[in-house]
Chain A
Amino acid sequence: MEKGNFMKRATKLFATAAAVALGTAGMASAQTLDKVKKQGTLSCGVNVGLAGFSAPDDKGNWTGLDVDYCRAIAAAVLGDATKVRFVPTTAKERFTALQSGEIDVLNRNTTWTLGRDSSLGLSFVGTNYYDGQGLMVKKSLGVKSATELGGATVCVQTGTTTELNLADYFRLNKLEYKPVVFEKADEILQAYQAGRCDVYTTDASGLYAQRLQMQQPDEHIVLPEIISKEPLGPSVRQGDSQWFTIVRWVHFALLNAEEAGITKANVDQMTNSTNPDIRRILGKEGEFGKGIGLSADWAYQAIKQVGNYGEIFEKNVGSGSRINIARGQNSLWTKGGLQYAPPIR
């Protein structure tokens, strides 16, 4: 089984190379779900390296919130969370990768905006992390608020909403600044630490994650101001409503699981639960899986193999990780947060 799969992949590589060389066009359009099932793997676009969201270790094992979302989708669709091919994408190529079908779902701490929903051919399925843009400075500068940053030099990543928010914020507050723009996060990190910039700005979660990469994390503070809304979430190609529904409901299932108290550890006991909510989530009641083109235990597989939303959060960015970000806005609505999932029924 394993071997045949690899054979298939390699032959496909050959075939595609040959097809390009010969200039032949072909292959009928395939629905994403069929394609994923046929290939037996989910191609998931992730960040090339952002601790907490998606980062590979030296041996190529990926970890992070976005990475676990990829795994959960794979578990729900294919029944196996390991059947993911992680495709690292830069900020520039992430949308093309999705548009062209190179990846099936983009889980790359990407901000949901109207512009992206309307003119880039994407459909965001939801928000797996409510974020906002923050500003980080060296403690030694003595800055306490963003309004004191007039005349500062700011390091920012190109092609992000961050770059635009930054311009808006400083213009609105009538402050001068100098942007220094880089393509990759690790270059910004180097430049900021060397003192090329006074301020490093990106999503607040990113700032906390990047701070861990610094030589002396304690010497840097994130200013209290959050200057934008950055709802980060998975997105899929427009025009494939079946696939859109699947990815969206995997997200909701993870949230509902947390709400219902189903965890990675107790999910097997929970299958015996009499609570109809839990029974519906785990596919013991109703035919919801079939309705979206999956097996009945789709949500069970995702929770069993990856965990519920809370577990994923705590493990990667929350108290279980070095980044240690409080749940805050990302708590469930029942606990005063923004994470609210429609019911499975």
Chain B
Amino acid sequence: MTATTNRQGPGPLVPPAKPSLLYRPEFRQAVYQILLVVGLVAGFWAIAHNVSENLARQNIASGFGFWNRTSGFDISQSLITYNNQSTYGQAFWAGLFNTLLVAALGVVFATLLGFIIGIGRLSSNWLIARLCGAYVETLRNLPLLLQLFFWYFAVLKNLPGPRQSIVLPAGATLNVRGLYIPAPVPEQGFNAVLIAFAMGIVASIGVYMWARRRQLATGERFPVLWTTLALILLLPGAVYIALGQPLGWEYPVLRGFNFQGGIPIQPELMALVVGLSTYTASFIAEIVRAGIAGVPRGQREAANALGLSSGLTMRLVVIPQALRIIIPPLTSQYLNLAKNSSLAVAIGYPDFVSVFTGTVLNQTGQAVEVILLTMLVFLTISLITSAFMNWFNKHIALVER
């Protein structure tokens, strides 16, 4: 509207030498932006208006009043205290922690596997390189959901029932209901072992710092790895034996329908972790390969010329530089993994989406609130992960001289 009134020509305040207001970029940009804002506000207003009208007309509940109401349903696995007398709010947290658990496990396994496969693809061994290549090309070209179904419905479902369980070493048991591993039960005096363990870690850090300083000053190397391993493992081990092994084990036993005792790991969790980590590993492998390949040949040759072994070349020269290339895309793979963990809903693992966006939404019927909260949670996870990985990236980035 402003534009049309100005079409007649420059206003009295505008010097004639300047182009007409309509043709000035600043003016146009302002108009575009105002239009955009108006459009967005109108759009959001229309949506909000429709939603509130739709809800009010049909007398549909809204708001977050449900948060403190009793949920009335159970969750098969929860890291926090939760039962069917808990509130919807507690169900929210129970689901969220289950998601974080899967994401954490998935990140660890996917990284390990991804690095192994990625380095394997560059192996001088022709067969190993091809095998790793085949792994990558197979897994990343299949939908994750299909892989989850495969692991859950086709593989794990073929395990025997509880009464014909597969007995694994060390008292563990595997059947269609999951993997049961013995649970450690600390007895009198076990705290001393924990304290020894903590002391071992502290001492190791001290040794590491001292050795580093000495190496910088004198150039002499100190066998840090062996010393720290001894400190962390042998020290608490010695205390453990000295105190008469104050740690009992609770073994899973078949009682009634299921195994009781021990630490049960649901098949849903197993399928999800295996599926997520093998899938994500295929992407991480590619990133690792590209990262290592991105380190200039000269670096490797120089390290060889200095007489470093191939292991040391990898550890001290190639990997630190490759990490600079690897970290940013690796971050987005971690985020993808966290987001993909929401597919748990399809195989019955009680993750956040399944518990909150599934059951809570269904029981309360408050779609708008629940979905908005879900998105907020994932956005928060994304932001925190990105922030951490950015910090980490800055921390390890080589200082260019």
Touch between chains A and B, by CB atoms below 8 Å: yes
Task: Indicate whether A23 sits within 8 Å of B46 (C-beta atoms), given known contacts A167-B72, A167-B84, A179-B75.
Answer: yes
Residue from B59, B161, B258 within 8 A of A238 (CB atoms): B59
Docked pose: A177 CA to B260 CA in angstroms: 12
16 contacts between A and B (CB under 8 A): A91-B362, A92-B362, A99-B60, A121-B57, A141-B257, A151-B260, A152-B256, A153-B257, A163-B73, A163-B363, A180-B76, A181-B350, A181-B358, A183-B346, A183-B354, A195-B176
Q: Is B367 an interface residue (CB 8 A)?
A: yes
Docked pose: A116 CA to B362 CA in angstroms: 11
Interface secondary structure of A, over-half rule:
mixed
Docked pose: A196 CA to B269 CA in angstroms: 13
Question: Would you give the shortest CB distance from B254 to chain A, in whole angstroms?
Answer: 11
Residue from B61, B161, B358 within 8 A of A158 (CB atoms): B358
Told that A152-B257, A159-B359, A168-B84 touch, could you supply 5 new A-B pairs with CB distance under 8 A?
A25-B50, A92-B361, A121-B55, A166-B74, A195-B177
- Contact present for B58 and A190 (CB under 8 Å): no
Against B, the Cβ 8 Å flags (1 = close, 0 = not) of A157-196 are: 0111001101110010000011111110001001100111
Docked pose: A315 CA to B61 CA in angstroms: 39
Q: Is B365 an interface residue (CB 8 A)?
A: yes
Q: Is A18 an interface residue (CB 8 A)?
A: no
- Contact present for A167 and B74 (CB under 8 Å): yes
Docked pose: A183 CA to B358 CA in angstroms: 8
Chain A's closest residue to B368 (CB) is A96
Against A, the Cβ 8 Å flags (1 = close, 0 = not) of B138-157 are: 00000000000000010001
Question: Would you give the shortest CB distance from A200 to chain B, in whole angstroms?
Answer: 13
- Contact present for B177 and A196 (CB under 8 Å): yes
Q: Is A265 an interface residue (CB 8 A)?
A: no
What is the interface residue range for chain A against chain B?
35 or more
Q: Is A124 an interface residue (CB 8 A)?
A: no
Within 8 A of A (CB), among B49-91: 50, 54-55, 57-61, 72-76, 84-85
- Contact present for B359 and A194 (CB under 8 Å): no
Chain B positions near chain A (C-beta within 8 angstroms) = 39, 42-43, 46, 50, 54-55, 57-61, 72-76, 84-85, 153, 157-158, 161, 176-177, 255-258, 260, 267-268, 345-348, 350, 354, 358-359, 361-363, 365, 367
Question: Would you give the shortest CB distance from A186 to chain B, in whole angstroms?
Answer: 10
Residue from A151, A159, A180 within 8 A of B362 (CB atoms): A159
- Contact present for A178 and B258 (CB under 8 Å): yes
Docked pose: A163 CA to B355 CA in angstroms: 12
- Contact present for B257 and A194 (CB under 8 Å): no
- Contact present for B176 and A163 (CB under 8 Å): no
- Contact present for A181 and B354 (CB under 8 Å): yes
Docked pose: A267 CA to B350 CA in angstroms: 53
Chain B's closest residue to A92 (CB) is B362
Chain B's closest residue to A25 (CB) is B46
- Contact present for A168 and B72 (CB under 8 Å): yes
- Contact present for B362 and A160 (CB under 8 Å): yes
- Contact present for B74 and A191 (CB under 8 Å): no
Question: Would you give the shortest CB distance from A249 to chain B, in whole angstroms?
Answer: 22
Q: Is A150 an interface residue (CB 8 A)?
A: yes
Docked pose: A121 CA to B54 CA in angstroms: 10
Specify which of B72, B75, B158, B365 lies most central, judged by the most chain A CB atoms within 10 Å of its CB: B365
Return chain B residues, CB-CB under 8 Å to A160: 362
Chain A's closest residue to B358 (CB) is A158
- Contact present for A119 and B61 (CB under 8 Å): yes
Docked pose: A195 CA to B153 CA in angstroms: 11
Q: Is A237 an interface residue (CB 8 A)?
A: yes
- Contact present for B43 and A158 (CB under 8 Å): no
Residue from B85, B258, B359 within 8 A of A153 (CB atoms): B258
Specify which of A100, A141, A196 lies most central, judged by the most chain B CB atoms within 10 Å of its CB: A196
Return chain B residues, CB-CB under 8 Å to A150: 256
Chain A's closest residue to B345 (CB) is A183
Q: Is A297 an interface residue (CB 8 A)?
A: no
Return chain B residues, CB-CB under 8 Å to A120: 60-61, 365
Question: Would you give the shortest CB distance from A111 to chain B, in whole angstroms?
Answer: 12
- Contact present for A163 and B367 (CB under 8 Å): no
- Contact present for B359 and A163 (CB under 8 Å): yes
Return chain B residues, CB-CB under 8 Å to A195: 157, 161, 176-177
